[in-house]
Amino acid sequence: MKFLDLARVHIRSGGGGAGCVSFRREKFIEYGGPDGGDGGRGGDVWAEAVEGLNTLIDFRYQQHFFAKSGQHGMGSQMTGKSGDDIVLKVPVGTEILEEDEETAIADLTEQGQRVLLARGGNGGWGNLHFKTSTNRAPRKANPGQPGVERTIWLRLKLIADAGLVGLPNAGKSTFLATVSNARPKIADYPFTTLHPNLGVVGVDGREFVMADIPGLIEGASEGRGIGDRFLGHVERCAVLLHLVDGTSEDVASDARTILTELDAYSPVLMSKPRITALNKIDALDDETISERRAALEAELGETVHLMSSVARQGVTEVLRALWTKIAPTRQIRDDEPDAPWQP
């Protein structure tokens, strides 16, 4: 199944049915009076976050969603049938935006959340409603209200506790494969990862979700490479794991490149808690490890963990460091009272 995290959708709610102009005609009942029924209400268009979806691929093959219009009113005071609603089922973590791709309509972050995207038109009144003491045979009825038509964007941001960032070939996919059951493609060339991957990670009896996105390169915020397209998937993370390739000749410059691109993309990402790890230490001698770790700590001003995903060195310590940042957010989430979704 292909991964798709952005889709443009055209929606239209149903129009209301027209009211009916009718008069009661029955044997032995003279001047039966008006009995035109009301038109039915048009169907609404809803969006609902459901379990089991992790891509918007369904909206590549169908972009138009039109709800049914209400049925017209009929004689004998019969109201027309209301139109059926349409529900767009989207993955948890989907943002719904206006056509300008900037104005947010809703953010569906929990299973079962629903938001009304387009309300159906009300049905028109039949001539029965216009009967008065001075107008006993009205020949007037209202047309139904038209439906609402609009274009929206669906943008998926994966729900994860920790996010992996780094240059291409920093070892992000290898790390995810080592600590979880995820099986991302791994190869010795840049941009092996073409779409985000999720894995469930366990440490000390605790579990959390980790997201791996394609690698970033210098100029990513200006459109170079593909990693900037997926940075939104780590915006929801509680902590970022910044992997630096220990075999690089200038680890400090590599780390600064990533931080510069994060800051250019969004100050929110730059302000997130961050754990930095020097990866691939199994390919280095002790002296080189010490030199590059010192250079990295001097550049970043923070403690740098040593790790090798292949040799499984230092992996548990890194996972424990990640959990110390994730645990407080889990507590906040557990303490929040359940409340109905308000668009």
- Binding residues, by number, are 166-173, 191-195, 212-215, 279-282, 308-310
Give the integer Cα–Cα distance in Å for 259 and 251: 13
Which H or E run includes 123? Answer: none
CA distances from 128 to 25, 75, 121, 301 (A): 14, 10, 20, 79
Label residue 205 exposed, middle or buried (CB < 10 Å: 0-12, 13-18, 19+).
exposed
**Residue 210: what are its φ and ψ, rounded to 5°?**
-120, 140
CA distances from 307 to 51, 178, 304, 318, 324 (A): 35, 12, 10, 8, 18
- Binding residues for GTP, by number, are 166-173, 191-195, 212-215, 279-282, 308-310
- The helix-helix angle for 286-300 and 251-265 (nearest 10°) equals 30
- Binding residues for Mg(2+), by number, are 173, 193
Radius of gyration of the chain (CA): 29
* H-assigned helices in the chain: 58-61, 172-179, 251-265, 267-270, 286-300, 315-335
The conformation of residue 70, written as its DSSP 8-state character, comes to P
Cα angle 271-182-279, degrees, rounded to a multiple of 5: 55
In 10 A of CB 341, how many CB atoms?
Answer: 15
Q: What is the largest CA-CA distance in the chain?
A: 110
